[in-house]
A and B are shown apart, each in its own frame.
Chain A
Amino acid sequence: MTWNRASIVGAGLIKMGELFDQSYEQMARGAFDAAVASVDNGFDTSDIDAVFVATQRGTLWGQEGIGGNTVPSAIGLNGVACTRIENACPSGSDAFRVGAMAVASGAYDTVLVIGVEKMRDKSSEEGLLARAAGGHPVYTRGESAPVLFAPFATRHMHDFGTTKEMLASVAVKNHHNGCLDPYAHFQYEVTVEQVVEAAPVCSPLGLLDCCPQTDGAAAVILTTPEKARDHTAAPVHVAGFGVATDHPYLHEKSGYVGLTATVEASGRAYEMAGIGPADIDVAEVHDCFTITEILDIEDLGFFEKGKGGIASAEGETSLTGRIPVNPSGGLLAKGHPIGATGIAQLTECWWQLRGQADERQVKVHNGFALQHNVGGRGSGVSVVNVLTTNE
């Protein structure tokens, strides 16, 4: 039995990219307007009781105080309750979960969950990928973002014979899907050969195995299932969610071929929704690197451990495959504006379940979509949300 105690009535995002011409606040305004405009029967913004803002690091280092109280004023909701949620790469998906719980609790009828991240107000050399300065000053010195995932590629290749070409097939697919998504940062196809031969970034990962640094914002309006009927004939309900943590340092991991937090989080989400992985029609998963998507589709239960590489290479996750994964282009092509990422994924799931995804529309049989992020120090936190059109 699905949870269904909160429902999406509107969702939207802005075109992702290097938005040098837009401020953090302007991006937030753009996403909010898009979400409001998407509500089928119109929406009075004064109905919003509370705002949950997902921002990992305001203008990625330097203005960490941004977000929270700065957003309502920027989007014309001055005075409304507002809280900033920070939970690493799953910040957006976790803010959504918190918003859903806030509605389900009865404390609020209608909430706005908005994710905003300004990645490119700092040069790429100072950005997340390159920075390598976090964590323990000695034990994790030099640990840039790919270092959290590339060791899993090394070991997955060693243990299961996964190849660089299999990793590349994830980038090929997601770039293809990105070409069909007008909101995606990248709008070009790549070949397996191009991915394999791209400049090395963090061996065994090359440039096209990595997501870009992207500015972006996305917003979702949540309300009670009862009120949802006033806004739309086709609401999408929150069927379940799960969050799990894991040890923060790489040397504490139980293994290097999967992410425990994702296994735990998805198990909790499936149980809450009363379904299993086979019931999912479409999934937006965390593909910050090609290897991450391969780990995800195994850890989420779509494929047996070790089979994710071959499944990707054989097209089982394409738009017409057994389980379409990242129809939006994923983080690899659509981009990864951290706080906004999860909410942008949820927006794609909302479109897919409502049949509004145009050329990238997948076949929906069971009425379930799954959204997933994993991240933080040592992939120490994962969030999974399951959406459904089923009552």
Chain B
Amino acid sequence: MADRILTPRGLDAELVSVGAAAPALRLAVSAINSAWGRTGGRGQVAACRSDEDTLTLAASAASRALGAAGVGPGSIDGLWWGTSRLPFAEGPSWSTLAASLRLDTSTDGTAIAGSPHSGVDALLAAADAVAAGRVRTALVVASEALRPALGSGHETAAGAGAVALVLRRDGAGARLDSVASRFEPLLDRYRGDDETETRDTYDSRLVREEAFMPLAADVIGALGMHPDTRWSLADPDGRLAKGLSRKLKLGDPVSAAVRTHLGDLGAAAPLAGLVAALGESGPAALLAWGGGRATALGLAVDEPVPGAPEALGDLLAEGMPADYARVLRSRGQLEATGESVEMAIPPGSAMFVRDLREVLGLLGARCVNCGVVNLPPSAHPSCPGCGGDKFDVAELPHHGTVQTFVVNQTMPAPFEAPLPLVVVDLDDGSRVQLQGSDDGSALEVGMPVELVLRRYTIERGVPVYGWKVAT
């Protein structure tokens, strides 16, 4: 084995808040096994509804982190997003997320994808930009929603979830203070360029003995953390973390509860696992793993990080039990035969170009004459209230109450019934009509609701995002 040079370094960036999000569905591992004629299997994994994906989870976690930091999107000047797999293999993944968060169009940053290591890559890139003074306040998001190969070992592990952090140079909270990385060009979890689903290696013991254990031990050792350090350990198969912590005497990993509840969160796993350690001061560290890389990162939690208890609650939320067929349908791995209903207007056409930022940012136009808000502004040159033609941009609030609603009970593919449609009176007096984000069974006239970013459809390969109403 070649000589390895470890480079511990201090990073001048403080973690000032955290937010997290889990998808709606929970699938028992035994249900996956049963579908493949295998018996048993413990635990569960989290899975997206058909309108959730790595981007919508990222958006939810990010808005919660911003809320916990008490800063608006206008204070963010850099967005770094790590995920194994972006919603557009090529295309505006990062800018779609940024627009939905209403970040300024001059915002710095990038999306980093391609392996479960990408979440920590995003964090380190953001920390470097903050330390260098290139950005003042950075938003870091790590999210995951994989499409595992059916029947593979990876299928019983693959979960979904997201975590987001706000980083600032002179903040309070948790300090990033050391990092060590190693790589080996090895094959563990992977997907070829012409493949649609992620597979794991055919020999898990080979990965454990020749790759995971030695690299992980190397970077953890290089970090030289205090014995009381609370560790968040990447745990791709649900067993590796336990073996590693026993071998290196790291104590019970703080990431265990999230891993048990949601499965392997891939690029989001190390940071999601760390959330449990951010609520109390003391030393903490994480191990990121994937794509032939291992990185250990040490933190000093000087004081509890705002948002940590809520984020942990969001990650450990109960979720909705789902059967195997529903999860396959949601991931697009089980599709009805026949023609499905296309949108009247194809994504990428002129109308999308005209109003996509308005739709993603939930922007309206407020009439300077009578105050009525219309949306989308590009479709309304005249005020519906007074016919006026002068408007201010209105950033619509994400909360309101139900004015009226319906629940569509029978829908053609690609829709899934029941499908609620809700007219919502937003807190600023404006009004929107949007789909409901769940089955609509809890909807009532007058009840308070929240708007959440969701994926409306994938058409001609293009994911289309917009806001929905959550009860």
Interface set of A (CB-CB < 8 Å, partner B) = 125-126, 130-144, 146-147, 150-155, 158, 199-205, 247, 249-252, 256
Task: Give Cα A33 to B412, complex, Å.
Answer: 38
Q: Chain B contacts of A151 at CB under 8 A?
A: 404-406, 421, 423
Q: Chain A contacts of B423 at CB under 8 A?
A: 151, 250-251, 256
Q: Chain B contacts of A204 at CB under 8 A?
A: 406
Known A-B contacts A131-B412, A134-B344; the reply to A152 vs B433 at CB < 8 A is no
Q: Chain A contacts of B432 at CB under 8 A?
A: 139, 251
Known A-B contacts A137-B464, A139-B359; the reply to A154 vs B344 at CB < 8 A is no
Chain A nearest Cβ from B404, distance in angstroms: 4
Q: Chain A contacts of B341 at CB under 8 A?
A: 130-133
Select A155's contact among B359, B376, B403, beta carbons within 8 Å.
B403
Select B411's contact among A134, A142, A251, beta carbons within 8 Å.
A142
Task: Give Cα A132 to B435, complex, Å.
Answer: 12
B415 at the binding interface (Cβ < 8 Å): yes
Task: Give Cα A135 to B421, complex, Å.
Answer: 14
Known A-B contacts A125-B412, A133-B343; the reply to A252 vs B374 at CB < 8 A is yes
Chain B nearest Cβ from A137, distance in angstroms: 5
A154 touches B405 (CB 8 A): yes
Q: Chain A contacts of B464 at CB under 8 A?
A: 137-138
B344 touches A137 (CB 8 A): yes
Chain B nearest Cβ from A244, distance in angstroms: 15
B408 touches A142 (CB 8 A): yes
Which of A130, A134, A139 has the most chain B CB within a 10 Å cutoff? A139
A150 touches B343 (CB 8 A): no
CB nearest to A153 among chain B residues: B406
Chain A nearest Cβ from B435, distance in angstroms: 5
Task: Give Cα A155 to B359, complex, Å.
Answer: 27
Task: Give Cα A143 to B445, complex, Å.
Answer: 19
Chain B nearest Cβ from A140, distance in angstroms: 7
B379 touches A136 (CB 8 A): yes
Select B343's contact among A141, A249, A250, beta carbons within 8 Å.
A141
A137 touches B342 (CB 8 A): no
B456 at the binding interface (Cβ < 8 Å): yes
Task: Give Cα A252 to B403, complex, Å.
Answer: 12
Chain A nearest Cβ from B231, distance in angstroms: 43
Which of A126, A132, A155 has the most chain B CB within a 10 Å cutoff? A132
CB nearest to B410 among chain A residues: A201
B352 at the binding interface (Cβ < 8 Å): yes
Write 9 A-B pairs (CB below 8 A) sorted by A numbering: A126-B339, A132-B408, A132-B415, A137-B352, A144-B411, A151-B406, A155-B403, A199-B409, A256-B423
A130 touches B410 (CB 8 A): yes
Chain A nearest Cβ from B348, distance in angstroms: 11
A154 touches B404 (CB 8 A): yes
Task: Give Cα A361 to B147, complex, Å.
Answer: 65
A155 touches B404 (CB 8 A): yes
Q: Which of B425-461 contact A (CB under 8 A)?
A: 431-435, 440, 445, 456-457
A256 touches B403 (CB 8 A): yes
B253 at the binding interface (Cβ < 8 Å): no
How many B residues face the partner with a CB closer than 8 A?
41
CB nearest to A135 among chain B residues: B344
Which of B404, B408, B409 has the most chain A CB within a 10 Å cutoff? B404
Q: Chain B contacts of A137 at CB under 8 A?
A: 343-345, 347, 351-352, 456, 464
Q: Chain B contacts of A133 at CB under 8 A?
A: 341-344
Q: Chain A contacts of B342 at CB under 8 A?
A: 133
Q: Chain A contacts of B359 at CB under 8 A?
A: 138-139
Q: Chain A contacts of B407 at CB under 8 A?
A: 200, 202-203
Q: Chain B contacts of A199 at CB under 8 A?
A: 409-410
B87 at the binding interface (Cβ < 8 Å): no
Known A-B contacts A137-B344, A138-B466, A202-B408; the reply to A143 vs B421 at CB < 8 A is yes
Task: Give Cα A384 to B347, complex, Å.
Answer: 38
B445 touches A158 (CB 8 A): yes
Task: Give Cα A155 to B412, complex, Å.
Answer: 26
Task: Give Cα A9 to B262, complex, Å.
Answer: 74
B403 touches A203 (CB 8 A): no
B149 at the binding interface (Cβ < 8 Å): no
A130 touches B376 (CB 8 A): no
B421 touches A139 (CB 8 A): no
Chain B nearest Cβ from A20, distance in angstroms: 20
Task: Give Cα A336 to B406, complex, Å.
Answer: 22
B421 touches A147 (CB 8 A): yes
Apart from the given pairs A136-B376, A154-B445, A256-B404, 4 other A-B contacts in the complex at a CB distance below 8 Å: A132-B412, A138-B464, A139-B375, A201-B408
Q: Chain A contacts of B381 at CB under 8 A?
A: none
Q: Chain B contacts of A249 at CB under 8 A?
A: 433
B171 at the binding interface (Cβ < 8 Å): no
B456 touches A247 (CB 8 A): no
Task: Give Cα A136 to B433, complex, Å.
Answer: 11
Task: Give Cα A273 to B345, complex, Å.
Answer: 43
Task: Give Cα A178 to B120, complex, Å.
Answer: 69
Q: Chain B contacts of A141 at CB under 8 A?
A: 343, 435, 456-457, 466
Task: Give Cα A249 to B373, complex, Å.
Answer: 13
CB nearest to A129 among chain B residues: B410
Q: Chain B contacts of A138 at CB under 8 A?
A: 359, 456, 464, 466
B434 touches A139 (CB 8 A): yes
Q: Chain A contacts of B332 at CB under 8 A?
A: none
Q: Chain A contacts of B456 at CB under 8 A?
A: 137-138, 141
Q: Chain B contacts of A202 at CB under 8 A?
A: 406-409
Task: Give Cα A202 to B379, complex, Å.
Answer: 27
B28 at the binding interface (Cβ < 8 Å): no
In the A-B complex, list the 4 residue pairs whose CB atoms are closest, starting with the nearest: A138-B466, A150-B406, A251-B433, A203-B407
Task: Give Cα A247 to B418, complex, Å.
Answer: 27
Q: Which of B69-119 contact A (CB under 8 A)?
A: none
Task: Give Cα A140 to B432, complex, Å.
Answer: 10
Q: Chain B contacts of A132 at CB under 8 A?
A: 341, 408, 411-412, 415
Q: Chain B contacts of A140 at CB under 8 A?
A: 433
A147 touches B408 (CB 8 A): yes
B150 at the binding interface (Cβ < 8 Å): no
B172 at the binding interface (Cβ < 8 Å): no
Task: Give Cα A136 to B351, complex, Å.
Answer: 9
